[in-house]
Amino acid sequence: MLNTHNQVTTNTNFFGNASPHELIEKYGSPLYVYNENILRDRCRELKQLITYPNFSVNYSVKANGNLSLLKIAREEELNVDAMSPGEIYVEEMAGFKSDQILFISNNISAEEMQYALDRNITVSVDSLSQLETLGKINNGGKVCVRFNPGVGAGHHEKVVTGGKKTKFGIEPTKIEEVKEILEKYNLHLTGINQHIGSLFMDGDKYIEGINSLLSIAKNFKDLDFIDLGGGFGIPYKKLDHQPRLDLIELGKKLDKVLFNFAKEYGKQLQFKIEPGRYIVGECGLLLGTVHSTKVNYDIKYIGTDLGFNVLKRPIMYDSYHDIEIYRTRTKPSTKSEFVTVVGNICESGDIIAKERMLPEIFEGDLLGVLDAGAYGYCMASNYNNRLRPAEVLISATGDSKLIRKRDSFESLVNNFII
Ligand SMILES: *Cc1c(COP(=O)(O)O)cnc(C)c1O
């Protein structure tokens, strides 16, 4: 490849034995590409986060529910969270057993609770009314409760899930009411959990949230586990050398807090974390093709097939994703310029990167949108009747393997009543 802007994927040998052009030729554009080695590295890093022995990493599958990636996470001995019966269904398909799944529910129906209970999967409820609903159908059973200690964190208002202005969890002032409902239905509270929000790059807020959760835990005598939540951030600005979350430092602080708590509680109960993005974000990349370039009223647009139907994060959260450029032809970029990279959807908000300084881009170039493995494919849609892309895995040996087919015109019309 010539004249390319591809430091990050070169450093990680992201594409293995293939080149971006070979992958696009073989599987079509746009295309989600995942790297197995990076996925396994991330799983292992979090498995080793702390030395506290009774510890489980529950991968939050909503970030990326591809069956092949789930199987790898299971091989790496991760457990999983589910947010819906559909996620439970796929997790079971990937081989996870009921005691490896925690259903973290929010405003679900009694039927959805029953789906989990029938499988002996623990349900975490996050309101008094849902606790009542569960008590009615599972009298004498087990339950987990999600609390919201009033601490939130995250990169965007929409992903802050703890704190006083979110719909999640039960506030600590309602602990007595929780106890009353538990008693009324003879429920055994086996665990409590929280999730303060997504993408923290500094562990202090996380620890603060944990301290609040642990003080809630002291109100309950016989817990088996405490789930500390996810939100572990990844550096989205790799081309600017953004530092990684310091897991060593966070791990040390966590260990101290958790060992102390277990001692005080008088039981070496299990601690869980529930990372999503940290596990799958960096192993995924979105490849697309530049179909046109133009200048409109002094703004240079790079027109691609990467609409927000394929990657929604930039339009949903104003997210920043690094962009690499891959080129086989010999025409070099002789300058850098501010460009706005857009997709092919009929909406003026269909922008992947706004006024980004990049080497000159030409028609026919391929672009790689980095760190697209989390909240990428799973949020893709058929808007404009576009086909959701295929997903490909670069295996540990460097070979590429199709792990989800591209949508087809048939799949678009599948559910019509004809
Ligand atoms: C989304 C979510 C997670 C994972 O968040 P990340 O930022 O991807 O780590 C964990 N737990 C709950 C309850 C969530 O809703």
Q: Where are the domains of the chain?
A: 13-34+283-412, 49-279
Query: What's the pLDDT score for residue 154?
Result: 67
283 is catalytic: no
CATH code: domain 49-279 is 3.20.20.10
* Interval between CA 198 and ligand 1 midpoint (Å): 6
pLDDT digits (tens, 9 = 90+) for 330-383: 788 999 999 999 999 999 999 999 999 999 999 999 999 999 999 999 999 999
- Written as six digits, the tokens of 220 are 């309950």
Tell whether ligand 1 has an atom less than 6 A from the beta carbon of residue 233.
no
pLDDT above 90: residue 199: no
Burial call 259-294: b when 16+ CB within 10 Å, e when fewer? eebbeebeeebbbbbbbbbbbbbbbbbbbbbbeebe
CATH fold label, 13-34+283-412: Lyase, Ornithine Decarboxylase; Chain A, domain 1 (2.40.37)
pLDDT digits (tens, 9 = 90+) for 162-194: 777 889 999 999 999 999 999 999 999 999 999
Q: Are 123 and 167 in contact (CB under 8 A)?
A: no
Residue to substitute in 61, 81, 213 for testing ligand 1 pocket (most ligand atoms within 8 angstroms of CB): 81
Residue to substitute in 198, 316, 317 for testing ligand 1 pocket (most ligand atoms within 8 angstroms of CB): 198
Average pLDDT of the chain is 95
**What percentage of the chain carries pLDDT values higher than 70?**
98
Query: From CA 322, how far away is CA 213, in angstroms rounded?
Result: 35
Residue to substitute in 56, 170, 274 for testing ligand 1 pocket (most ligand atoms within 8 angstroms of CB): 274
Angstrom CA distances, 174 to 147, 180, 209, stand at 10, 10, 18
Q: What angle do CA 174, 180, 184 make, to 5 degrees?
A: 145
pLDDT digits (tens, 9 = 90+) for 232-268: 999 999 999 999 999 999 999 999 999 999 999 999 9
Give, to the nearest 10 degrees, the angle between helix 36-47 and helix 67-75: 40
Give, to the nearest 10 degrees, the angle between helix 110-118 and helix 85-93: 20
Give the atom of ligand 1 at the shortest distance from the alpha carbon of 62.
Answer: 1
Tell whether ligand 1 has an atom less than 6 A from the beta carbon of residue 195.
yes
Residue 125's SS3 state is strand
Tell whether ligand 1 has an atom less than 6 A from the beta carbon of residue 149.
no
Query: What's the pLDDT score for residue 418?
Result: 87
In this prediction, residue 3 has a pLDDT band, given cuts at 50, 70 and 90, of low
Give, to the nearest 10 degrees, the angle between helix 204-217 and helix 247-265: 10
Tell whether ligand 1 has an atom less than 6 A from the beta carbon of residue 62.
yes
In this prediction, residue 280 has a pLDDT band, given cuts at 50, 70 and 90, of very high
When pLDDT is averaged across residues 292-300 and rounded to a whole number, the result is 97
Query: What's the pLDDT score for residue 78?
Result: 98
In this prediction, residue 157 has a pLDDT band, given cuts at 50, 70 and 90, of confident
Residue 193's SS3 state is strand
In this prediction, residue 36 has a pLDDT band, given cuts at 50, 70 and 90, of very high
- Closest Cα to atom 12 of ligand 1: 195
Query: From CA 71, how far away is CA 202, in angstroms rounded?
Result: 30
In this prediction, residue 143 has a pLDDT band, given cuts at 50, 70 and 90, of very high
Give the atom of ligand 1 at the shortest distance from the alpha carbon of 104.
Answer: 13
Query: From CA 321, how far away is CA 370, in angstroms rounded?
Result: 6
Tell whether ligand 1 has an atom less than 6 A from the beta carbon of residue 276.
yes
Which amino acid, 367? L
